[in-house]
Amino acid sequence: MTIRTPPLLEVNALKKHYPLSGGLFGGNKGAVYALDGVSFTLEKGETLSVVGESGCGKSTLGKTILRLVDPTDGEVFLDGERIDNLPPSQLRQMRRRVQVVFQDPFSSLNPRQRVRDIIAEPIVNFGLARGSELDDRVAALMDKVRLPRDAMRRFPHEFSGGQRQRIGIARALAPGSDLIVCDEAVSALDVSVKAQIVNLLSDLQDELGLALLFISHDLAIVEHLTHRVAVMYLGKIVEIADRHALFSAPHHPYTRALLSAVPVPDPTIRRQRVILKGDVPSPINPPAGCRFHTRCPFVHDRCRAEEPVLRSAGQAGHVSACHLDDIPPIS
Ligand SMILES: Nc1ncnc2c1ncn2[C@@H]1O[C@H](COP(=O)(O)OP(=O)(O)OP(=O)(O)O)[C@@H](O)[C@H]1O
Ligand code: SF4
Ligand SMILES: [Mg+2]
């Protein structure tokens, strides 16, 4: 009998509905269905990118896994152990293993702390080292993120955006984490700095066997970094595939439209730009059936009545939530 090793992270039918309060007199006025039944796995040392338009629920997914917000329903497992319902007393241990890097390093770093103390803080809080061992650990982390050691005595405002993001990454690595949620971690940086931080994350992943949940609205960046991609639309995952399959043979009409907007570096290749009709519907009152049906060029009666489930769309591991099997090119 073979015993299956559980994935590092397993997310099962995860939901986060933000209740809408009813103005002056309170009362229940419905909810924002920000995350509405999302499932996937992430292996040790793997990068899964989560992409989709603004408001589709990417950050809510990250925050719910991190327990910065409580889920409404569903399950999250870390190494096979359930973490979505941990009592506050046990959340600490989970937080040692799952860390986050946000988009704006400036607002997430304490401006009054020196870099040394910013990086040392999680090590001290988790009781992992002190004295000279603590100093050695901080110095090693500075090396890992390629910051000069003399930067330890300085304050966050003395650094550029890219360097501040290196400080944020060092702090996320500090407690010996297995998984880092990167929420638009490079989105605010200049193009060349973006590439440097992406390369740094890739190198750290190889060196440390880190898993990354890489949340980004920028598909061009994702293409250089990721192993697999999950595409979200209005609180749901509509397609998951490995990088190659997603970029070369996307299945879902929404994924195809998103990809059509990504610039192709090779001038001999032309992608037909797909302009989607209308705006993303409100997550307070998402469309019935397929949530994408109000904007889909292939909408038909079944789409308005029946919600498509994720099902095989090609190679193993490639799944898409669309009723159609063969989707013609979108023109
Ligand atoms: N605390 C909250 N209370 C109510 N609604 C919220 C809250 N946080 C997020 N939302 C709503 O949930 C939906 C998903 O938001 P979320 O921030 O997860 O999207 P996103 O994909 O990260 O977007 P972006 O690309 O702009 O960062 C949005 O409609 C948002 O307005
Ligand atoms: S199920 Fe229908 S509306 Fe949804 S993506 Fe497929 S064809 Fe389009
Ligand atoms: Mg976000």
Q: What is the pLDDT along the chain (331 residues), one digit of tens a residue?
A: 677 789 999 999 999 999 997 666 666 779 999 999 999 999 999 999 999 999 999 999 999 999 999 999 999 999 999 999 999 889 998 999 999 999 877 777 899 999 999 999 999 999 999 999 999 999 999 999 999 989 999 999 999 999 999 999 999 999 999 999 999 999 999 999 999 999 999 999 999 999 999 999 989 899 989 999 999 999 999 999 999 999 999 999 999 999 998 877 666 666 677 778 888 999 999 999 999 999 999 999 999 999 999 999 988 899 999 999 887 766 5
Supply the pLDDT for residue 29: 79
Supply the pLDDT for residue 3: 74
Extended strands (E) in the chain = 9-21, 28-42, 47-51, 73-78, 81-82, 98-101, 179-183, 211-215, 228-233, 236-242, 311-312, 319-320
Supply the pLDDT for residue 279: 84
Using CA atoms in the order 171, 172, 175, 178, what is the torsion angle rounded to 10 degrees?
Answer: -160
The closest ligand to the CA of 35 turns out to be 1
Ligand 2 in reach of 298 Cβ (< 6 A): yes
Residue 192: how many other CB atoms lie within 10 Å: 8
Supply the pLDDT for residue 330: 60
- Encode 130-146: b = buried (16+ Cβ within 10 Å), e = exposed: eeeebeebbeebbebbe
CA of 100 to the centre of ligand 1 (A): 17
The closest ligand to the CA of 280 turns out to be 1
Locate the ligand 1 atom nearest the alpha carbon of residue 61 and give its number: 18
Locate the ligand 2 atom nearest the alpha carbon of residue 302 and give its number: 2
Measured by CA distance, the residue closest to atom 3 of ligand 2 is 293
Supply the pLDDT for residue 26: 64
The pTM of the full predicted model, rounded to 2 decimals, is: 0.94
Measured by CA distance, the residue closest to atom 24 of ligand 1 is 54
Supply the pLDDT for residue 246: 96
Phi, psi of 21 (to 5 degrees): -85, 150
CA of 18 to the centre of ligand 1 (A): 9
Q: Are 9 and 65 in contact (CB under 8 A)?
A: yes
CA of 150 to the centre of ligand 3 (A): 34
CA of 219 to the centre of ligand 2 (A): 22
Phi, psi of 162 (to 5 degrees): -65, -40
Measured by CA distance, the residue closest to atom 30 of ligand 1 is 55
